[in-house]
Structure 1
C-alpha cells in the first residue's frame, strides 16, 4: 500500500518529464524511473528481495553452472584447436538446409547440446575471428538459439511434468522450430566467400596448459555474467509476484505466461502445477522454451549487442519461433499414442516410446536436407 501511494507522485513527475522530450531521453527517464522503483521496493521489502536473490543464485549453482561451465571449457578448447574446420567437414551437411556456410556447424552443434546462450556466444567468436560475415552472423544467432536437452528433458519433462515422454516432445518441437526458422528467415548470399582461417586458433607451440588456462578464464567470465542475469531477473520476478497488480490476476495461464516471458524456468514451473489440461500445459511450455524469455534474450544480447544487431527484429523472430514451437508440439501430441500422452506423472518410458521419439527427431532433421537436395536437382 505504501508503494502504491509513493507511485502516484512518481507517475505524475514522469508525465511532466516525458511531455516534451526526445525518444532517447524518454527511454532514459523511463529506465531510471523503473530502476528507482525497484530500489524503493528493495528498501521497503528487503526480506522478499533477499529470498528471491538467493533463489536465483541457487538456480544458477545447481541447475546452470554444473553443465554450462564444463561445456564452455570443452567448446573453447575445440575452437582453439581447429574444431571449426573439423566440424565443418563432418557436420557441414546440417548447415545446407539452414542456408548457412559449413563453418557454422560447430555453433549449431554447441547450441543443440548446450542451449542458451552459448550458441550466441560462439557465433560472436566466429564473427570476431573473421570466419563468418555479418549477414551470416545475424542469421545464425536466430537459428542457433534454443534451450538445451538437459533443461528440456531433465528439468521440464522429468522434474516438472514427471515424464521424459513429454520432455522429448518439447525437445523435438524446439529443434524443429529452429530448423523452420532457418528456412523462413530471408537469405541473401554474401558477395564474397569467406574461407576458414586455418590454424588461426592453433598455437605454434601447441601448449595445452596455456590453452586450458584461457578456456577456463573465459568460462569463468561468462559464468559470472550468466549468474548476474539469473539473480537479477529472479529479483524482478520476486517483485512482480508480490505486486498488487500481479496478485489481482486470477487466470493461471496469464500469470505463467507473464512470468515466463520474463524468465522461462519460473513460467514453466507455474504451468506444470496449474490445474489445466495436459495439452495446454505442453503448448504453453513449448512457446516459452522456444521464445526463451527476456532473461535469456538479455543474456544473448550481452554478447551480440555490441555488433548493432536489431533487438526488435530478434525479439519478433523469437516470438515467431515460440508460436512455431507450439504448433509443432500440437502436431506431435496429436500423433502421439493417446494413452501415453495422458500420463503426465509416473510415466514409464518404454523402449518403444524411446525409439518412436528419436525417430521423430531423425525425420525432423532429415526432411529439410532431402528437400534441399531435391530442389537443387530440379534446378
Structure 2
C-alpha cells in the first residue's frame, strides 16, 4: 500500500483523537468554548441566515432563478461565462453572506440545472460575506469605524468579481445562447413548475424544513470549530503557528499579537476580526487589510460548511478553496491600496519602511492630490482592458487550439 494512502487514512484519525484528548484534559474550557459557539449561532447566525436560506430554497423551487436567469443571461454569459442564474446566486450571496451562495450553487448542480464546469465557475465568485457582517459587525462593532466598512465591502465584492473573471475560462466551456425565444423559455419553466404537482405551501414547508436542517448543521460546525480553536490554543499550537508567521511578517512591522489574532481568524473569522481590531497598537490600515483577507478567505469553519454542500456534488472542493484564498488575497490587497483614498489625506506611518516606500513618495502624493481626475481615467482603462480580455478569452473558448 502506498504511503500517501496510509497518511490520508490515518491523518484524520490522529487529529480526531488529539482533539478528543484535549476535551478530556480541558473539560471546563471546552464546555465554555462550546457555549461561546452556541451563543454565536443562536444570537447571530439564526436570525441573520434563516430568512435568507428559506428564501433561497423558495427561489429555486418556484423557478424564480430560471425566470430571472433568462432575462440577464446575455450579460452574465459575456462577463463570467455563466448563465443568468449565476447573477441571481451572486446577489443572494452578497445580501445573505456565507454559506448561502455555496449552498445555492451546489443545489443548482445537484438538480442538474448547470454543468460541472459552470458550477465550478459559479461557486468561485458567488460565495461571499454579507454587508450586515462587514459593515455592522466588523467595521462598526469591532473597529468602531462604520465608514471603514464601505471600503472593506467594496474591496470584498470587487475581489469576488475579479476571481469570477479569473475563472471564466475554467472547463473550456462556452455557455451557448438559448435556441428558444424568451417566451418559449418562460413557458417551459412554467410547465416544469406544475409538472411536480406541488403547491406553494408544500414548497414553503419544504423550504423551512431544509433551512432548519441547514442551520442545525451550521451550528454544529460553529460549535465544533470553537472548541477546536480553544483546544489548539491550550496546547500552545496557535501560539507556535503565530510565532512562525511572525518571523517573516515582522519585516513589515507586524507584531506577535497581530499574528495570533490573524491565526485565530483562519479558524473562525468573527473571532479573528475581533482580535485583529483590538490590536490598537497597529495602524488601522494593516488591521483592515488582514481583516479583509480573513473575510474573503472565510476561515476554516465556514470553508467546512461550504465544502459540506459542495462535496455532495462533483464540484472540485480543492479548487474552491483556492478560489477563496485568491478572493482573500485580492480583497486584502485592494483594501491596502485604496485605504489612503478612504482617508482622503496623505497618511503618516511609523510601522514599516515598506509602507513608506508605497505611500510616502512623490508619485503617490501626486496621485492623492489629483485622484479625482486620475481615478476615473484608471477606471475607464480597467473597463476597456476587461472588455478586450473578455473578447479574447471568449474567442479562445470558441476556437480551442
TM-score, normalisation: structure 2: 0.77
**Residue in structure 1 matched with residue 19 of structure 2 by the alignment:** 38
- Mapped to 2, the partners of 1:192 and 1:273 lie a distance apart of 47
Q: Which of 48, 55, 75 is the aligned partner of 2:29?
A: 48
Q: Which deviations, in whole Å up to 9, do the C-alpha atoms of 1:13-44 show, x marking residues without a partner? A: xxxxxxx8631221222221121121111112
8 A Cα contact 1:80 1:202, kept in partner: no
- Mapped to 2, the partners of 1:202 and 1:283 lie a distance apart of 49
Q: Which of 108, 112, 125 is the aligned partner of 1:126?
A: 108
- CA, structure 1 residues 368+203, in 2 after alignment: closer, same or farther (shift >3 Å)? farther
TM-score, normalisation: structure 1: 0.81
- CA, structure 1 residues 333+140, in 2 after alignment: closer, same or farther (shift >3 Å)? same
**Residue in structure 1 matched with residue 173 of structure 2 by the alignment:** 190
**Residue in structure 2 matched with residue 286 of structure 1 by the alignment:** 292
**Residue in structure 2 matched with residue 372 of structure 1 by the alignment:** 387
Using the TM superposition, give the Cα deviation of residue 138 of structure 1 relative to its aligned residue in structure 2, in angstroms. 1.1
**Residue in structure 1 matched with residue 155 of structure 2 by the alignment:** 173
- CA, structure 1 residues 46+374, in 2 after alignment: closer, same or farther (shift >3 Å)? closer
- RMSD of the TM alignment (CA)? 3.1
> Is 1:325 matched up with 2:370?
no
Using the TM superposition, give the Cα deviation of residue 45 of structure 1 relative to its aligned residue in structure 2, in angstroms. 1.1
**5 Å matches for 1:67-78?**
67-78=48-59
8 A Cα contact 2:158 2:331, kept in partner: yes
Number of positions where the alignment pairs a residue of Structure 1 with one of Structure 2: 341
Using the TM superposition, give the Cα deviation of residue 259 of structure 1 relative to its aligned residue in structure 2, in angstroms. 1.4
- Mapped to 1, the partners of 2:274 and 2:27 lie a distance apart of 24
**Residue in structure 2 matched with residue 142 of structure 1 by the alignment:** 124
- Mapped to 2, the partners of 1:151 and 1:288 lie a distance apart of 12
**Residue in structure 2 matched with residue 210 of structure 1 by the alignment:** 202
Q: Which deviations, in whole Å up to 9, do the C-alpha atoms of 1:136-166 show, x marking residues without a partner? A: 0011111111111111111101111112211
Segment of structure 1 superposing worse, 77-86 or 158-167: 77-86
Segment of structure 1 superposing worse, 70-79 or 225-234: 70-79
> Is 1:242 matched up with 2:234?
yes
**Residue in structure 2 matched with residue 59 of structure 1 by the alignment:** 40
8 A Cα contact 2:156 2:296, kept in partner: yes
Describe the SS at the equivalent of 1:132: coil
- Mapped to 2, the partners of 1:105 and 1:42 lie a distance apart of 44
**5 Å matches for 1:91-102?**
91-92=72-73, 93-94=75-76, 96-102=78-84
8 A Cα contact 1:166 1:341, kept in partner: no
8 A Cα contact 1:56 1:230, kept in partner: yes
- Mapped to 1, the partners of 2:42 and 2:31 lie a distance apart of 17
Segment of structure 1 superposing worse, 302-311 or 324-333: 302-311
**Residue in structure 1 matched with residue 222 of structure 2 by the alignment:** 230
Q: Which of 310, 313, 320 is the aligned partner of 2:319?
A: 313
> Is 1:257 matched up with 2:262?
yes
8 A Cα contact 2:77 2:175, kept in partner: no
8 A Cα contact 2:67 2:189, kept in partner: no
8 A Cα contact 1:103 1:131, kept in partner: no
Describe the SS at the equivalent of 1:131: coil
**Residue in structure 1 matched with residue 86 of structure 2 by the alignment:** 104
- CA, structure 1 residues 90+38, in 2 after alignment: closer, same or farther (shift >3 Å)? same
